[in-house]
Amino acid sequence: MLIFRQLFDPPSSTYTYLLADGGSGSAVIIDPVFEQVRRDAALIEELGLRLICTLETHVHADHVTGAWLLKQWTGCQIALSAESGAEDADRYLVQDDVVAFGSRNLQVRKTPGHTNGCLTYVLDDRSMAFTGDCLMVRGSGRTDFQQGDPHAMYSSVHRQIFTLPDACLLYPAHDYRGLTVTSVREERRFNPRLGGEIGEDDFAGYMKNLRLAHPKKLDVAVPANLKCGRPDGNMGVTAEPAWAPLRYSFAGIWEIDPLGLEEHAREVQILDVREPEEFTGPLGHIRGATLIPLGQLAERAAELAKDRPVVAVCRAGSRSAQATVILRESGFPDVANLAGGMLRWRAEGHAVEGGSPLEYIAEYSI
Ligand SMILES: N[C@@H](CCC(=O)N[C@@H](CS)C(=O)NCC(=O)O)C(=O)O
Ligand SMILES: [Fe+2]
């Protein structure tokens, strides 16, 4: 079974693709974005996958790749085109190379035109291809900088992409209108720059008159991407919160496990956001917890100190997740959610004030 996810970075309109072999859990990620590495790593962890390789479709001009950072976090390899000019990769890909992940693989096709080192990755059964900034949905990558060449792009599209099966789905590296996917059949017919009877010189004429502004991040992105996204010094690397062992979820919430909270209970403020009758009810509450029901939190957040981390707690961990969002919006820098709430806290045997023994609590009786 193939696991497939299309992820989006709104500031740069970049698509990142996660592909994995369900059997072995081996995964690759195509065109990760530096600022989204935390999100992508959380998804990989939640799906129980092991990242074996990052793949670039090209040296991007509009965002910094997350390849280097993902390698630091997961120990994966970094791969991109042998013609990229980039240093620090583990694997330099050429035409017809095969990138295996478990029992699945991607085949490498050279598709220069946007840059010299542009690659298209084709899934083993030719049902999907990742075209980078070569062929886009009813569009194409620009050809006016980074060794761009409309003649090379025309040939790449016609020889390497339009020769795939009609039904092959095509996934680009960007879309500026929110379009997510297309197919060989559609683009051969309807691509306004390259489809139908449009010839090479028609395409070159079109591309010479695109008149796009240069990407805003060009001067930062290209040098960083020529080092696979390795930042200079510590610049740009967001530090992990150091006050307790936290985990970032794909839902966008920092979480702490019951054991982590037990170990750091003295340094943090525990905020219980349940209703008063729950606070004094059978599940009990954690010693020292401040009770502010979720519905009152936005108005009463000032009752908490901003210079000490806050751990939000509720019954099962969902209302308290929202409490962390409200606290962040109120300017609290260090907040986390108790994963699993009081239910898990009690199930794992941690102490409470008040409450009933587990065997008398309905939630625990089977
Ligand atoms: N406005 C964007 C630039 C977008 C851009 O130039 N995108 C490139 C891909 S790196 C492209 O080929 N665009 C083709 C198009 O928009 O038709 C930015 O500042 O980052
Ligand atoms: Fe690009």
Tokens of 135: 């062929």
Distance 208 CA to ligand 2 centre (A): 17
| Low-confidence spans in the chain with pLDDT less than 50 | none
Which residue's CA is the nearest one to ligand 1's atom 19? 215
Choose among 30, 14, 19, 7: nearest CA to 221.
14
Cα of first residue to Cα of last residue in the chain, in angstroms, is 34
Residues 109, 326: Cα–Cα separation, whole Å: 47
Contact 301, 326 (CB under 8 A): yes
Q: Is 139 in the pocket of ligand 1 (CB under 6 A)?
A: yes
Angle at 109 between CA 108 and CA 110, to 5 degrees: 120
Taking CA atoms only, the protein residue closest to ligand 1 atom 6 is 215
Please give the distance, rounded to the nearest whole angstrom, from the Cα atom of residue 174 to the centre of ligand 1. Answer: 8
> pTM, whole model, 2 decimals?
0.94
pLDDT score, position 235: 54
pLDDT of residue 237: 57
Q: Where would I find the beta strands (DSSP E) of 22-168? A: 26-30, 50-55, 77-81, 91-93, 98-101, 104-110, 119-123, 128-132, 135-136, 139-140
Cβ–Cβ under 8 Å, residues 280 and 337: no
Q: What is the pLDDT of residue 240?
A: 83
Q: Where are the alpha helices (DSSP H) in the chain?
A: 37-46, 67-74, 150-156, 184-190, 200-208, 218-225, 258-264, 276-279, 294-300, 319-329, 341-347
The confidence score (pLDDT) of residue 238 equals 66
Give the pair of three-digit tokens for residue 277: 């009758």
Which helix (H) or strand (E) segment holds residue 166: the answer is none
Question: Ligand 1 pocket: which of 56, 62, 179 to mutate (most atoms <8 Å of CB)?
Answer: 62
Is 236's C-beta closer than 6 angstroms to any atom of ligand 1? no
Q: Supply the Cα-derived Rg of the chain in whole angstroms.
A: 25
CA distances in angstroms from 320 to 35, 54, 189, 294, 315, listed in the order given? 26, 35, 51, 8, 8
Pocket test residue of 174, 175, 219 for ligand 1, highest count of atoms within 8 A of CB: 174
Please tell me the residue having the least CA distance from ligand 1 atom 1.
Answer: 215
CA angle 27, 32, 35 (to 5 degrees): 130
Residue pLDDT, tens place only, 225-263:
999 999 987 555 567 889 999 999 999 999 999 999 999
Would you say 181 and 170 are in contact if contact means Cβ atoms under 8 Å apart? yes
Spell out a b/e string for 30-40, using b for 16 or more CB atoms within 10 Å of the CB, else e: bbbbbbbbbbb
Average pLDDT, the chain: 96
Instruction: Tell me the CA–centroid distance for residue 55 and ligand 2, in Å.
Output: 14
Q: Indicate which ligand has the atom closest to the C-alpha of 212.
A: 1
